Amino acid sequence: MTAITFPPGFRWGVATAAAQVEGAAHEDGKGDSIWDVLCRRPGAIDDASNIEVACDHYHRVDDDVALIKELGYPTYRFSVSWARVMPDGHTVNAKGLDFYAHLVDALRAAGIEPWLTLYHWDLPQALQEEGGWTARSTAEAFADYARAVYARLGGKVDTWTTLNEPWCSSFLSYAGAEHAPAVNEPAQAVAAAHHLMLGHGLAVRALREAAAAAGRSPRIGITLNFSPTHPASPSSVVDRDAARRVDGTQNRLFLEALIHGSYPADVVADMATWADIHDWVRAGDMEAISEPIDVLGVNFYNGQTVAGPEPGRMFGGPAAGAGPSPHVGSENVRAEPQDLPVTDMGWQVEPRDLYELLLRLDREYTSTAGPNAAGIPIVITENGAAYRDEPDAHGRVEDLDRLAYIRDHLIAVHDAIAAGARVEGYLVWSLLDNFEWARGYTKRFGIVRVDYSTLARIPKASAEWFSAVVRNNGFELD
């Protein structure tokens, strides 16, 4: 037996997002979000479902907090719905903030640390009608929203994330046409990428100003989703260029703006097939975007392997024989499946990718950057997997594939720490089975099963195993 033990004070927890779990889609003054609207579009959601009820977390919040406490998870990362707090994108709805104040108070009373994410994709539809993230005004409105949430919750929450996965809110949403607002306008995706990062920077400043005025110093950061990208043939110049391109838009574009205060020139050139991101950059924008942060959230699910375009095709332009692509300027890059296990999402499972990612981030971006000599600490803010688990005759869910996924990725995190990466925490995605965006309720990521007919919560084997990991700050590996 080998003991896998994490450093003292390592942060453990679970995560959810408002649109995926809350329900109460139009209660207490909540307005439509872009996801409420997309759910009404025929064919947009695999199972034609919606988020009117979801997991009904809005009404079951006290029971859910009690469940988190019972399972022994010391941190709960949740998101605030902008459409609930500001239904028109601008005007505060007090009842919307009341819900989150109650949630935070309940967490505190249960001894659970709240980790608040301001934006997990549910933009008020009213702002979408004003241009959404393609409009600079949305970035400015986001800062106002951050101030409003901090004014109510700033004294109760010590860790704040501005944005969750801006790649999804820009490229997957405005070019890939998969996430709301689900359009295929690559130039709009480029504009959205800049305005999301600008919104992050303006929100960091707004939060810091409000905190300083109150004599507080919360930890403020952002969460990016990373996917290590490999060439199908390392000896192929074309495949290596394909990997560079996808790594550029998926990983480096947001990270280098955040850390270095500039967009990588090669990625800007790749996207220029459709638009020059600098067309939306004004004086002072990059300084705002690169405001120092206190923590970098890392969401990791899978790496990917890619090849160059089919013979006779260019990298950029409309994708050959396929639907919209999120790879702006590199639409004809091809995914190459590997001889690896896959999750129910079809995502390859290779924990070594997480290990190498963490070392790369530490080496190239976070170890010497940030507000102090020690650099920027990393926390895994999402890691998990969807599998087709079902309860047995006794109601037991033996999700050993998910348990193994989490175990093996925790080993990768442990090995990265041993190799010098400054990783300070790990949060499982997700606490509950929930609405998996365009996949509807067809994919289950939860370590707690939700019976959608009764909304009963059933902890799975992975939840019980993870409880023991948290309790022991590690586990024994046979």
Do 126 and 87 form a contact (C-beta atoms < 8 A)?
yes
Please choose, from the candidates 78, 24, 40, the residue with its C-alpha nearest in 3D space to the C-alpha of residue 180.
40
What residues pair up with 51 in beta bridges, in sequence order?
none
130 included as an active-site residue: no
- Cα–Cα distance between 385 and 410 in angstroms, integer? 13
Closest CA to 414 of 406, 402, 423, 405: 423
SS3 content of the chain, % helix, strand, coil (to 5): 40, 15, 45
Q: Which of 256, 291, 382, 436 is catalytic?
A: 382
Pair 110, 66: CB distance under 8 Å: yes
Active site residue 165: yes
Cα dihedral 177, 182, 183, 186 in deg (nearest 10): -60
Residue in 347, 161, 361, 417 with CA at minimum distance from that of residue 247: 361
Q: Phi/psi of residue 18, each to 5°? A: -55, -55
Contact 4, 351 (CB under 8 A): no
C-alpha–C-alpha distance, residues 457 and 68, integer Å: 11
Q: Are 31 and 82 in contact (CB under 8 A)?
A: no
Q: Measuring CA to CA, how many Å separate 199 from each of 153, 203, 222, 440, 451?
A: 20, 6, 11, 28, 37
Cα–chain-centroid distance for residue 15? 10
Identify the active-site residue in 22, 165, 256, 291.
Answer: 165
Q: How far is CA 435 from the centre of its chain?
A: 14
Environment class of 8 (CB within 10 Å of its CB; exposed 0-12, middle 13-18, buried 19+): exposed
Backbone angles phi, psi at 64, to 5 degrees: -70, -40
- Report yes or no: 232 and 310 within 8 Å, Cβ to Cβ: no
Query: Phi/psi of residue 335, each to 5°?
Result: -75, 140
* Catalytic residue IDs: 165, 382
